[in-house]
Structure 1
Amino acid sequence: MKKIRDLGSLPADAFDKFKDKSLKQLFKLLDKANRELKRYSHVNKKALDQFVSHSEEKEKLLKRKEELDKAHQAIIDLMNALDHQKYEAITLTFKQVSKNFQDIFKRLVPEGRAELVMHKGKKDANASDDEDDVPTGGPSMPLPDVERFTGVGIRVSFTGDSADMRDMNQLSGGQKSLVALTLIFAIQKCDPAPFYLFDEIDAALDAQYRVAVADMIRDLKSEAQFITTTFRPELLESAEKYYGVKFRNKVSHIECVTKEEALDFVEDDQTHG
């Protein structure tokens, strides 16, 4: 009776369902039920507790994922903002240097023409090829990937003819020197350095360009100090201090000299050169 009570209350139809069964049939049904129950002999009795525990852990992980997703998006937004600032800095600096480059080259070579060109790497197949090289002064464009910037090209013409625009590798040694000085002066106007050390920058220049470079240095010397070495008289005309370097007994000697002594020195060097 105790075992029957342990079963609890039975459904109302339980008695009617088996009242017509013989004892043999009931034992057979009981045996079948016992065999069915044996299939569940290894039931995990902690399954409910584990389910609750794992459900709580799942909720914690979902919240953590949400936090990480927000942090990830914040990092992406920051990177985009930094890329935007980097792009703006690159394009603004490039435009300033390019304008200075054009103006200074025009001053050094009155009949000439020059431009800086921003080079960019390859882009998507669907993108236009016209945007690979972007000259200054062009229309504003959507913000591209800053990693596509690969360098800066230079095109100049010493005659002013747009059909005669040349790259650096097509110029003579003196022309390359003049273009390099133009670029240095253009950068100096954007981001001045306290002093510049020039070693025989006029060696390959024609006389007219040496005069133009000397005039440029004279105009800029109030903003920075220029230290130059030269064997030409043009740079001496705008200098404020002169030093002579002589080599005696296998030792270099330097001494302050006058402008006249400096001019005599370079003229003597040219005479015996």
Structure 2
Amino acid sequence: ADALERGARHEEQARERLAEKRARRQREAVVAEAVRTAAEWAHGLLVESADEAGRARAAGEADRTERDAELAVVRRDIGVLQAELRELTDTVHRDEVARTQQRLRIEQLETRAVEELGIAPADLVEEFGPHQLVPFVPDPDADPDAPQPDPIPFVREAQEKRLRQAERKLNALGRINPLALEEFSALEERHKFLTEQLEDLKSSKRDLLDIVKEVDERVERVFAEAFEDTAVQFERVFQRLFPGGEGRLVLTDPSNMLTTGLEVEARPPGKKIKRLSLLSGGERSLVAVALLVSIFKARPSPFYIMDEVEAALDDANLGRLITLFEELRDSSQLIVITHQKKTMEIADALYGVSMRGDGVTTVVSQRLRDVADQPA
């Protein structure tokens, strides 16, 4: 019995589920039908709206085409009007510029009439206006005794031509200076003054040239004499410093004593060379000393200052140089800066300069002649 009862319940439940499914299907069918009907209605509306939109668009396209055509016409008209406006503006501007120029021209003419003629513009027009007859202007080459023609009526073109001719002639004359006479007198006075100054300068130049010539002649003479004396002394001194050698002084351009150069030719004994550059350092130093001593002997001086002239000499050459120093000492005073002991031995006085430990320079002096004369 329980099994039957359960079976009945299951069957009843199955019938209920089936009934629910049928009811749901019916509801869904009703909904689907409603949806289909609504869709058909909406589709109809869409088709109708699309047709209406197409008609509206076609009408809009036609209206836009018409508006574009009208706009093109308006733009073309605007372009034409703008071109006309620019042309009118340019014309007005040119007219204004022309009027301004004419007004300035009139003002300039009025000012010129007042400044040059001293006549007011109104009086000028009244006396010389177009209503007045123009006097006939004869040809400059015509006979002055011939009868003068009557005045002629004013013709602007003819008078403007006469004006241009007169202006050309006036320009050909150049500017007229009312102060020309006064300026001429001043310039004449200035010319006279400058002429006198020029003559003074020429005279001064001649005097200076004479002085220069005299000085040049004296310089040439003094130089020639000094050179001859120095050349003679150089040969003697060179023989003493270089026994058996030969040395001389030569002018590079004897014809022009003011610009000539001086060359020293020195040939020590036993050598054939004469160029100083080929000599040794000691030989060059001795040649320089020979030239220096020859100048001393040719033109003596009260005293001489020499700075280590014998530094590069050996004992034999130093002895010869010391002999020359002793000869020079007889007539002049010698101040010799030296480190050579033999040179110090012939000195009358010695002066030494040294630096102490504190950086202070100390000068030490000793008179050798006085010491030598004292008893031992």
Q: Does TM, normalized by the shorter one, top 0.5?
A: yes
Tell which has more relative contact order, 1 or 2 (C-alpha 8 A, sep 6+).
Answer: 1
For residue 224 of structure 2, what is the amino acid of its counterpart?
T
| 2:208 corresponding residue in structure 1 | 75
Contact 1:211 1:235 (8 Å CA) reproduced: no
Displacement after TM superposition at 1:57 (Å): 4.2
Matched, 1:155 2:265: yes
| 2:219 corresponding residue in structure 1 | 86
Higher strand fraction: Structure 1 or Structure 2?
A: 1
TM-score with structure 2 setting the length? 0.44
For residue 96 of structure 1, what is the amino acid of its counterpart?
D
SS in structure 1 at match of 2:151: helix
Cα deviation code 1:28-48 (max 9, x no counterpart)? 6xxx9x9899977x8656555
| 1:164 corresponding residue in structure 2 | 273
| 1:58 corresponding residue in structure 2 | 191
| 1:204 corresponding residue in structure 2 | 312
Larger Rg: 2
Matched, 1:219 2:327: yes
Cα deviation code 1:187-234 (max 9, x no counterpart)? 111332333455654443344323322222222221013355454548
| 2:98 corresponding residue in structure 1 | none
SS in structure 1 at match of 2:263: strand
Q: Structure 1 pair 57/83, CA: closer, same or farther in 2 (3 Å)?
A: same
SS in structure 2 at match of 1:153: strand
Cα deviation code 1:1-52 (max 9, x no counterpart)? xxxxxxxxxxxx965x32xx6xxx2436xxx9x9899977x86565556545
Give the gaps of 5 or more residues in structure 1: 1-12, 119-132, 262-273
Mapping for residues 124-273 of structure 1, pairs under 5 Å:
133-134=252-253, 141=255, 143=256, 146=258, 148-149=259-260, 152-159=262-269, 163-167=272-276, 169-198=277-306, 201-228=309-336, 229=338, 231-233=340-342, 236=345, 239=346, 241=348, 254-255=365-366
CA distance in 1, matches of 2:285, 2:307: 12
Contact 2:241 2:317 (8 Å CA) reproduced: yes
| 2:151 corresponding residue in structure 1 | 27
For residue 116 of structure 1, what is the amino acid of its counterpart?
L
For residue 182 of structure 1, what is the amino acid of its counterpart?
A
Cα deviation code 1:148-183 (max 9, x no counterpart)? 34x53322001276x42122x322222122112212
Mapping for residues 86-125 of structure 1, pairs under 5 Å:
86-118=219-251
Give the gaps of 5 or more residues in structure 2: 1-142, 153-158
Number of aligned pairs?
213
| 1:269 corresponding residue in structure 2 | none
Displacement after TM superposition at 1:114 (Å): 1.0
For residue 117 of structure 1, what is the amino acid of its counterpart?
V
| 1:124 corresponding residue in structure 2 | none
Cα deviation code 1:46-94 (max 9, x no counterpart)? 5556545544543443333333322233333333333333333333322
Higher helix fraction: Structure 1 or Structure 2?
A: 2
CA distance in 1, matches of 2:353, 2:201: 70
SS in structure 2 at match of 1:204: coil
CA distance in 2, matches of 1:64, 1:202: 60
For residue 157 of structure 1, what is the amino acid of its counterpart?
R
For residue 27 of structure 1, what is the amino acid of its counterpart?
P
SS in structure 2 at match of 1:27: coil
Q: Structure 1 pair 259/176, CA: closer, same or farther in 2 (3 Å)?
A: farther
SS in structure 2 at match of 1:164: coil
CA distance in 1, matches of 2:367, 2:194: 78
For residue 209 of structure 1, what is the amino acid of its counterpart?
N
CA distance in 1, matches of 2:371, 2:177: 107
In percent, how many aligned pairs have the same letter?
23
